[in-house]
Each structure stands twice: as C-alpha cells, then as structure tokens.
C-alpha cells in the first residue's frame, strides 16, 4: 500500500496507534521521505495526531525524520492511513503499539476522496508539531491548551 503511493496521510487517535505506525512502518516512510526530498516523485508523509507527554518522543522523531506532523486536540476513535490510491482504517486502540487484529482496506476512489477531504480539513485546523513540542517542553502549555494555540 505505502510503497507504491504518491502521498501518505496518517490520522492516529491514540498514543498506541502512533507507536504502532512508527514501529512497523518507519523504514518505508523514510524511503518515501527520501523520494520526496531527493527525487521529488512523492508528496510526502503527513500525520495528524494528539501531541502530549505520551506521544512527544515519537512526534519529535517523526518531525526530525522530515515528516509533516500536526496536532489536533481530539480526534474521532478511528485511525487510518491514506494514500492516493487506498485507505486502511481501524477502530482498535492499538495499545502500546501492538499490531491491529482488524483493519479495513478500501481502494474505491469515492472512499479515498472522502477520507482525504476529512484529513485535509483536520490538518488545516491543526497546530504545527514544532510549536506543540516547544510549548510542552517549555511547560508553557498543557496538553489540552495546545489546540487553542493556533
């Protein structure tokens, strides 16, 4: 799914899902970031997640790896990964980064467009991860206040 994409969007609702994504797909996503930065044939990997003390270390690694990360105060319970060709979605909690047992994959263009619209709307309203990281590390903001920092 990811290797043959032209873009990847990841919407992760809980810390365990972010850990799962990082643990299982970081090498593929690094290759995609290289395709974006060196070759120019990929539009990048974008994340929407909640940045808090539980996710801070992973978010910092993603940002340092060249991924685009935005913070949203709260997200619906479904997590998904979206490319320009298909969607993979789950409602599992993925606690402590464990592998999901149930995931739905769809390559129907209408669903891809629908999930992309949702992702882009949330992303537009999100806070850039660098600002969220700085605020948490400096103790200027609580996790709940980050969403108001736009």
Does pLDDT of 111 surpass 70?
yes
Encoded tokens for 49: 């997640």
Question: H or E element: which one contains 83?
Answer: strand 79-83
Q: In DSSP terms, which residues pair with 90 in a beta bridge?
A: 79
Mean pLDDT score across all residues of the chain: 77
Note the pLDDT of residue 104: 86
What is the helix (H) or strand (E) element at residue 47, kind and residue range?
Answer: strand 45-49
The pLDDT of 77-88, averaged and rounded, is 86
The closest alpha carbon to 30, from 71, 69, 61, 70, belongs to 61
Q: Residues 74-92: what's their mean pLDDT?
A: 82
Neighbours of 11 (CB within 10 A): 23
Of 105 and 35, the one with more pLDDT: 105
Q: What is the pTM of this model?
A: 0.68
Please tell me the least confidently modeled range out of 8-12, 36-40, 61-65, 69-73.
36-40
Rounded CA gap, 119 and 135, in Å?
24
Structural domains of the chain ordered from first start: 8-144 (3.30.870.10)
> What pLDDT was estimated at residue 40?
59
Averaged over 136-141, what is the pLDDT?
79
Q: Are 81 and 1 in contact (CB under 8 A)?
A: yes
Question: Quick check: 80 pLDDT over 80?
Answer: yes
Comparing 1 with 21, which gets the higher pLDDT? 21
């Amino acid at each position: 799914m990811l290797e043959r994409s032209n873009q990847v969007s990841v919407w992760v609702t809980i810390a365990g899902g972010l850990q799962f994504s990082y643990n299982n797909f970081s090498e593929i996503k690094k290759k995609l970031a290289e395709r974006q930065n060196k070759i120019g044939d990929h539009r990048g990997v974008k994340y929407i997640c909640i940045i808090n003390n539980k996710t801070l270390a992973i978010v910092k690694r993603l940002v340092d790896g060249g991924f685009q990360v935005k913070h949203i105060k709260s997200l619906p319970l479904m997590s998904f990964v979206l490319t320009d060709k298909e969607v993979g979605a789950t409602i599992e909690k993925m606690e402590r980064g464990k592998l999901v047992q149930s995931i739905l994959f769809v390559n129907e263009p209408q669903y891809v467009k629908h999930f992309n619209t949702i992702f882009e709307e949330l992303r537009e309203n999100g806070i850039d991860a660098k600002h969220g990281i700085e605020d948490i590390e400096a103790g200027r903001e609580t996790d709940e206040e980050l969403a108001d920092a736009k």
